[in-house]
């Protein structure tokens, strides 16, 4: 049995796991230290293979409201933020 092993940063692992395990939408506001998640998703272009929606919101509040909307429609949606961003959500 052949197994592929990759060395990834934590943010990259989150992005690739979201694609692999069927997240329907990622909605985020780029703020360090989690900006690499949306950058990795944009490079991977999951909308071409899985139909995953990847959107940059105008604020942390907009991002969480997009997640609420997706979840209300029965979709798996995620966001990420820094600790100050979480306090706004």
Least confident window among 13-17, 26-30, 31-35: 31-35
Q: What is the largest CA-CA distance in the chain?
A: 47
Residue 1 lies in a domain: no
* pTM of the full structure: 0.84
CATH number of the domain where residue 49 is located: 3.40.50.970
Judge whether 34 lies within some domain.
Answer: yes
What span, in angstroms and rounded, lies between the C-alpha atoms of 41 and 17? 10
Give the number of domains in the chain: 1
Query: Could you give the C-alpha distances from 61 to 21, 51, 64, 85, in angstroms and in order?
Result: 25, 24, 5, 8
* Tens-digit pLDDT profile for residues 49-85: 999 999 999 999 999 999 999 999 999 999 998 877 6
Residue 4 lies in a domain: no
């Amino acid at each position: 049995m052949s197994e592929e092993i990759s060395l990834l940063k934590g943010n990259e692992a989150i992005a690739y796991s979201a694609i692999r395990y069927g997240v329907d939408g990622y909605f985020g506001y780029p703020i360090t230290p989690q900006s690499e998640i949306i950058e990795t998703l944009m490079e991977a272009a999951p909308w071409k293979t899985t139909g995953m929606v990847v959107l940059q919101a105008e604020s942390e509040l907009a991002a969480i409201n997009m997640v609420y909307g997706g979840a209300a429609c029965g979709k798996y949606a995620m966001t990420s933020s820094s600790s100050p961003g979480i306090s706004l959500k």
